[in-house]
Structure formats: structure tokens, C-alpha cells
Amino acid sequence: MNARRLLIDAGNSSLKWALVEAGQWQARGRVDYADGATLKAQMRPGTECFVASVTAPEREKQLAALLDEAGMKSVWLTAESGFGEVTNTYQNPGQLGVDRWMGLIGARQRTRAPVLVVSVGTAMTVDAMSGEGTFLGGVIVPGPELMRLSLKQGTARVNGLGGEWKTFPKNTADGVQSGIVAALCGVVRQQYEFLAEFETVRPKCLLTGGAAELILPHLSMPAEGVPLLVLEGMACVARERDT
């Protein structure tokens, strides 16, 4: 077994990372791309690094250069047609976002029940997996900040900054915030109902991503926040390489 391993989930807006030594999670964190000092402090020659990236190519190049400078062996993960009990049924399996794929693998380690995996970040993805571990498909919608930005850019007098969720909003900012929450929750609820009907049992619902806490309290079904779900999937894939 590799004694020291760094896992990096490179998202559109930030990096999540975890340090695993001898199979134990020792440290973890979240950093902006402009602030790599914390992450760089974890980099040592000989440490194996696994990266799951959906960020822009220029950021990937910067990260790769940072890893090379530190003398680290890096493995850049991609979605595959299958891993363990999880089957990828995307028309082109490699086109599935690697973060979504790792999230599904992480979810399978947590439950054998049908599960809806919701990642709320720059975009929100809602992926359904059967009780047999088959990825059934998923939807992609703009995340909270993209929704807010589209309103700001597309309207003359709608500014949603500083709003709060309200059942019946009485100002524009609250109206924007409450509308965003309602829209995202509606997508999750619809996909949850589709999965429940397909499986004939009530599925699990796991939420991850930087903005998951925005909608978690407002969902109509039981749901669990799992902030490190993608990293959990990556850790599982990394362990498999040692067997």
C-alpha cells in the first residue's frame, strides 16, 4: 500500500483535497485556485497524487506544473465504463464528468440502496443510481451563482445580492434567493420521484458540493450532506490500485 497519498478534487471554482496516510485520512481542506499555499504544504517528493479535474485546461496545467515541481507522481482520473459494482451507462462513458463518476463510486461505498447523488456547485448535477449500482443518468442545471448572474445580466433592475430564503418574499433580493432555492429543490425532487418510481422503493439522497447547504434544509425528502463524497470515491479508486 502506498504510505502517503494526496487526493485533489479540482472543481470549477475551487480545489478540495485530502491527505491519506496508511489508509487513514490525516488532513483535508478547500482552497481557491489563487491560494495554493495550503495545498502546496502537503506536497512532498514520492507522494502519489490522484486528481479528478473538471476545471479549465489552463488551471490543470498550473496544477500539473505544481505537482511536477514537488516531485510527485500524479494520476489524473477519468470516468470509465465501470468500477467495482458501479456501471457507467453514459452513451460515451468517458464524457461523464470525472467528479460525477467519483461521486457515484463514493455513494456506492455508503449504500446499496437506490441513490440520488446531488452535487451543488457552479453547476448542479443530479445523478440517479439503481440499487444494482447502475448509473441511470443525470441532469445538469446552472448552480446558484450562475442563476444569480443570469438574472443580473438579463434584467435591468433585478439584483439578488444579500437575499434570504422566505416562503413569501417581499423584496427583490429575497425573491431571487428564494427562487433559486425553489428551482434547485424542484429539480432534485423531480429526479427523486422518477428514481423512486423506477425502483419502487424510496431512494437515498446524498448532497455534496460547495453550495449544498443552501438547499439541504429545504428539500422535501430525507437527504444527507456528504461534503467529501468525490474524495471518498477517489480514495476507493486509489485503494483498488494497490490490490
For the chain, list the domains and their CATH numbers: 4-76 (3.30.420.40), 113-228 (3.30.420.40)
Confidence of residue 69 (pLDDT cuts 50, 70, 90): confident
Model confidence pLDDT, tens digit, residues 152-179: 888 877 776 788 999 999 999 999 999 9
pLDDT tops 80 at residue 3: no
- Selected catalytic residue, list 68, 99, 127, 242: 99
Q: Is the pTM of this model over 0.85?
A: yes
Q: What is the pLDDT of residue 162?
A: 80
Model confidence pLDDT, tens digit, residues 87-144: 999 999 999 999 999 999 999 999 999 999 999 999 999 999 999 999 999 999 999 9
Q: Is the Cβ–Cβ distance between 10 and 227 less than 8 Å?
A: no
Q: Determine the Cα–Cα distance for residues 180 and 152; give it in Å rounded to an integer.
A: 13
Fill in the amino acid letter for 115.
V
pLDDT tops 80 at residue 34: no
pLDDT tops 70 at residue 2: no
**Does residue 32 have an active-site annotation?**
no
Q: Determine the Cα–Cα distance for residues 4 and 22; give it in Å rounded to an integer.
A: 7
Side by side, which strands form the sheet with 135-142?
Answer: 135-142, 123-129, 115-120, 204-208, 224-225
Q: What angle do CA 86, 63, 23 make, to 5 degrees?
A: 50
Q: What is the mean pLDDT of residues 20-41?
A: 82
Q: Is the Cβ–Cβ distance between 28 and 16 less than 8 Å?
A: yes
Count CB-CB contacts under 10 A for residue 121.
21
Q: What is the pLDDT of residue 158?
A: 78
18-36 as b/e: b if 16+ CB within 10 A: bbbeeeeeeeeebeebeee
Q: What is the pLDDT of residue 157?
A: 74
Q: Determine the Cα–Cα distance for residues 13 and 25; give it in Å rounded to an integer.
A: 24
Q: What percent of the chain has pLDDT over 70?
A: 98
pLDDT tops 80 at residue 241: no
Q: What is the pLDDT of residue 47?
A: 85
The mean predicted confidence, pLDDT, of the chain is: 92
Can you tell me which residue has the cell 482552497?
Answer: 31
Can you tell me which residue has the cell 486509489?
Answer: 238
pLDDT tops 60 at residue 243: no
DSSP 3: S
User: Across 152-240, where does the E strand assignment appear?
Assistant: 204-208, 224-225
